[in-house]
Amino acid sequence: MPRSNEEKIQRCQLIMDLISNKLYNLNDLIIEVNKKFKASNRTIDADIKALKDGILGVNLPLKFTREGVYRIDYDDLHNYGETDCRHIPVLTKLFEPFRNLPDVEDTVQKLKQKYAANMKTLDELNNVFEFTSTNITHDPKVLKLTQEIIGHMIQGVGIEFNYYGVHQPNKNEDKLHRVFPLQIRELHNRYYLIAVTINSNPQINKLVTYAFEEILNMKIGSAMKADDPNENQPERYNHKELMEKIEFDKKYEHAIGVWIKPTEGPKLIERYFAGWAASHILACPIHKSQKLLSDIPNVTLNHIIDNRTGENLINRVIKVSWEIYKTPELQYRLGAYREYSWNTNDYNETGPDKPINWKF
């Protein structure tokens, strides 16, 4: 074999190894190849073209962008069918907080490429899952129900199920609910379905929240048209269009968990935090709208006794604000700080000697 052809094969093999594991732009790729081979830009460019066109017996699905050149190695991924790929939106959502870690972005891209290859309706889904943590449940019933709901979202078919409801006095009496599923939200490892009631009046789009464990046997079925005597026609909807019509993302922009109060709207809430609570709320904001309004050192807190000295605690106090819904979830979050957090209407910065008021 001529030496030039042998070197070309070796260069191509090196290029394959490089772009299989990392995203390179052309200049960086040339630098890496020239660490072992001395070749011009035109030569390496021709090598890449040869790999793409299958001239060397290898036909790679290469994609060229301004940012770089890479190939998607589909063999690294399970060959998802149209039913198995229902959990891909959940996986890609889980990866989002870690997108800046090495190779995570590439993995997410591979998943999306694989999903798009089998399910072209991916573009019709809009924000179908929302996590507050990465502690995913291992309950097989919850996981199965999640896949079934996402499957109905993909197909654009409404669902129906029997539901107890937390405010229902008799747990032996369940009620049939017919809805268009919009989003699954996880809060403290508990799963909820956010949906719109199937209504004879299409102008009425009421958002309803359902806890998974309150659904009878965690089983759902396809909702059929009520006026269809043969029950052969399902209630259909377009997930993306319905999400946009009811302004779903806008409604949940000011939520800190599952529940919202769209008729009341979000409120401007200001609150003081002292000591460890001040450090914690700054490190772990409860909402993206959180703002630090003031930071005051060495404040005497007349309502907190220092166990070490038996005197009033002297500590740092900060004042923060949010624009969020007033819900039981907010009260739960703020209650975790106990006497180290209080309403701005209840105390001033010197902490008067009054009992804690849990109102917010």
- Summarised one tens digit per residue, pLDDT across range 270-318 is 898 988 999 999 999 999 999 999 998 888 877 777 778 877 777 888 9
Specify whether 134 is located in the same domain as 242. yes
119 shares its domain with 41:
no
Which two tokens mark 33? 């190849």
Average pLDDT over residues 58-63: 55
Instruction: Output the pLDDT for position 192.
Output: 94
pLDDT higher than threshold 70 for residue 119: no
In terms of DSSP bridges, do strands 175-187 and 62-64 run parallel, antiparallel, or are they unpaired?
Answer: unpaired
Q: Tell me: do 150 and 171 sit in the same domain.
A: yes
Whole domain around residue 211: which residue ranges? 130-252
Helix (H), strand (E) at residue 93: helix 88-95
78 and 60 housed in the same domain: no
- Provide the domain count of the chain: 4
pLDDT at 74 over 50: no
What is the pLDDT averaged over residues 35-52? 80
Higher pLDDT, 267 or 110: 267
| Cβ neighbourhood burial of 317 (10 Å; 0-12, 13-18, 19+) | buried
Q: Does residue 259 sit within a domain?
A: no
173 within some domain: yes
| 159 vs 135: CA distance, rounded Å | 27
pLDDT tens by residue, 174-200: 789 999 999 999 888 889 999 999 986
Residue 168 CA, chain-centre distance (Å), reads 31
- Interacting residues of 200 by C-beta distance below 8 A, sequence separation 6+: 226
Helix (H, G, I), strand (E, B) or coil at 277: helix
Among 124, 153, 186, residue at a domain's last position: 124
Question: Is 264:324 a contact under the CB 8 Å cutoff?
Answer: no
Reference 95, options 116, 111, 117; nearest CA is: 111
Residue 262 CB-density burial (10 A; 0-12 exposed, 13-18 middle, 19+ buried): middle
Give the CA count within 13 Å in the CB-facing half-sphere of 207: 21
Average pLDDT, the chain: 77
Cβ neighbourhood burial of 85 (10 Å; 0-12, 13-18, 19+) = buried
* Within a domain: 293: yes
150 occurs within a structural domain: yes
Residue 261 forms part of a structural domain: no
Q: Is the CB of residue 149 less than 8 Å from the CB of residue 89?
A: no
Residue-wise pLDDT for 149-180, tens only, equals 988 888 889 999 999 876 666 666 778 999 99
Does residue 338 sit in the same domain as residue 274? Answer: yes
pLDDT for the residue numbered 254: 93
Which residue reads 């772990």 in tokens? 284
Are 103 and 36 found together in one domain?
no
